[in-house]
Structure 1
């Protein structure tokens, strides 16, 4: 028996089945409830006697449901963050591309050492090689950095007209 899903792997080793999944306290509680369940640290899996196959299958279904609910909740949260960002965008600065995706603010801009230093002060800021990413909670800090740039552009445009 070696069924695999995206989230749970079952592997048979002699008279034991090993159940592997990423860390989740609720899923652990489900598997701990199986008779004789033991955590095997070096295999990073839970070990249960094969004679409990039916109960193991039921537990795996419950663990899958936990992960499915978790994924659904995460997707809903990210969508809500993106919807909020669309309703209340960052200040528009010419030459910059600012948008929200998967609950992150993403900004691509021309290189500026001062801007890089400012972005680095924001907790969770990351440069991915082509753009900066920031947690959704960094909106106020980003606005504080971008608003003066926008004002400066407006002033330059007025001076030229």
Structure 2
């Protein structure tokens, strides 16, 4: 009497699960890094859009804007556009007289140990004056790779710099 066995053995299933686990352990960190990079690029595009609108406002009104309302751009997901600082997605944006900044918000709602993208109208470092300068400053090792991937130059403390030199 011959028996036909169909299906998989426990060893075969275990081997498949182990292979999937190994692939996941390699792919997941790269996936997270890609997601973080995509989010930072979105924040950089938003920051640049806000910064360009702020420069136009500053040129027309002889003063820096202090809120999103009044600029010639709008973001449907900005939580408080009438305030001097607001959130869009996982980033906290703030206006100041020197420019605009965007800081990554951590899961706890803080941006103390993340990174910030700061755009300056003008910035002087030693004898060099920059126009439309972007500085990426990371407050933790977790995000330092991200600032390193954006930089075209760096400050003496290692802070990433992207900007146009005037002098």
TM-score tier (shorter): under 0.3
Greater relative contact order structure (CA < 8 Å, 6+ sep): 1
Write 1 or 2 for the structure with the bigger share of strand.
2
**Which entry has the higher C-alpha Rg, 1 or 2?**
1
TM-score by structure 1 length? 0.26
Write 1 or 2 for the structure with the bigger share of helix.
1
TM-score by structure 2 length? 0.25
